[in-house]
Each structure stands twice: as C-alpha cells, then as structure tokens.
Amino acid sequence: MGELVSIDIAAMQAETVVLWMSEVASSVSAESDHLTQLDAAIGDGDHGVNMDRGFTAVGKALAGQGDSVPPGQLLIIAGKTLVSTVGGASGPLWGTALRRAGRALGKAPEFDGGALVEALEAAIEGVRELGAAAPGDKTMVDALVPACETLRTAIESGVDLASALAAAAEAAERGAEATIPMQARKGRASYLGERSVGHQDPGATSSALIVRALERAVTQEA
Ligand code: ADP
Ligand code: MG
C-alpha cells in the first residue's frame, strides 16, 4: 500500500536551488539557438549566448559551495555570478532577481510554497526597479508576473507545490506567447518601435524556461 501514497512536496532546500539552476543551465543551453533567433529579430542576437554563458557559470559557482549553505545564500551567489558573467541586459536583470529572491529567503534551511511566492515577488520587484518595465512592455516581466500570480493563487488555495508550479510554468509560457502582438517599450527591442510587433520577446521566453525548470527541480527531488 505504501507505494500508492502520493508524495506531497511541502518544502524546498538548498538541493532544490542547485537542481533548479542546473535545470535552467540545461534548458537555456538546449534552447540557446532559439533564444538567439528571437533576439536577432528584435534585438542584437545574443540572448541565447548570454543566458547559456551565465547559467553555466552559475552551475560552476554553486558546485563549489558546501552542504551547509542555505538556499537563499545560494540564490544570492547565483545572482552575483550572473551580474559578473553576462554583459547584456539579462545579466543584471536576472542577477538582481535571484539576489532579491535569495534575500527574501534569508538564512532559513528550508522554504515552503508561501515563502517561494514571497521570493518570486521580491525578484520581480527588483527587476521592475532596475528596468522600469511594466506588464505589457514586452519584456521578461510579461512572463514572470502571470507566473507569480498563478503560483500565489494556487498555493493560497491549497494546491500542492508541484501542481502549483506546473500551473505557474504554463502561465509563464502563455505570458511569453502573449508578447508577440506587443510593441516593445523597454530594452533594445524598443528602438524598433512598431517593427517589434509580431515577434516573441526573448527574455520572456527564457523566463518561462526558468519557471519550468523550477517545476522540474521540485518534482525530480520528490
Ligand atoms: P541585451 O538586450 O542587452 O542584448 P539580452 O539580449 O540578453 O540583453 O536580453 C534581452 C531581454 O532582456 C529582452 O528580451 C527583455 O525581456 C529583457 N529586458 C530588456 N530590457 C528590460 C527592462 N528594462 N526591463 C525588463 N526586461 C528587460
Ligand atoms: Mg540581446
């Protein structure tokens, strides 16, 4: 009978963060050409290379950390690594996001779904302070905001973490697709004005990969 009991994942730990970052690295590496193509259409064609370089460096930085480093601290290290290895806008933006998320988690050895929501909200706040993008501006914010709102609603209504993250990842993917008809108002793509319409935003696309990677990290650990 024991094997029929469904596993209810309630808490995430340092290992979850390490696994998340390694899932992001594999995913942005596999999608690097696609991300670069999207960026070639409305930017300078380096987004895949930027994300790949950054998250490969994050993987190396985290591999050197001891077992007792709390998850929040690991996210801060990941964020600092992105800032120092990625030249494009996505480096400081994701660097800030992960550092803010890490700071929100503090020194606790574990965090639950509620704390994850708080951390993601802090991350988005950091991105919006730095880049001044609002929803609808055709940026990573358009994937992250719906993902975070969906996650909050799911967690607050008692949905298990894995399902809540699956819903959040889907919301991020839909949010990235919804950038296609938008005109860019922030970042390099905004220089194109109306010509940015009709293309999916590269940063929103990679943001959806990052949320999907978190779902995979959490479900793999169980
Ligand atoms: P760069 O534009 O410097 O070449 P990247 O190509 O790595 O950097 O990243 C581009 C992505 O960064 C965009 O698709 C967009 O999602 C995101 N981005 C750019 N500027 C902003 C901003 N001000 N606020 C939020 N996101 C932004
Ligand atoms: Mg670019």
Residue 94's contacts (CB-CB under 8 Å, 6 or more residues apart) are: 54, 79, 82, 86, 210
Residue of 32, 38, 47, 200 to mutate, ligand 1, most atoms within 8 A of C-beta: 47
Residue 136, by phi and psi: left (phi above 0), alpha (psi -120 to 50) or beta? left
Query: pLDDT tens string for the chain (222 positions)?
Result: 445 454 566 789 999 999 999 999 999 999 999 999 999 999 999 999 999 999 999 999 999 898 889 999 999 999 999 999 998 999 999 999 999 999 999 999 999 999 999 999 999 999 999 999 999 999 999 999 999 999 999 999 999 999 999 999 999 999 999 999 999 999 999 999 999 999 999 999 999 999 999 999 999 865
Please report where in the chains the tokens 């696994």 appear, as a residue: 19
Residue 157 phi, psi dihedral angles, 5° rounding: -95, 10
Q: What are 11's strand-pairing partners?
A: 112
Please tell me the pTM assigned to this model: 0.96
The residue length of the chain stands at 222
Ligand 1 pocket by Cβ (under 6 Å): 39, 43-44, 46-47, 50, 88-90, 93, 127, 131-133, 139-141, 186-188, 201-204
Cα distance between residue 97 and residue 175, in whole Å: 18
* Predicted local distance difference test score (pLDDT) of residue 2: 45
Question: Look-up: residue for tokens 């998320």?
Answer: 101
Question: Atom 24, ligand 1: which residue's CA is nearest?
Answer: 131
CA distances from 189 to 164, 179, 184, 193 (A): 32, 12, 6, 7
How many Cα atoms occupy the beta-carbon half-sphere of 52 within 13 Å? 12
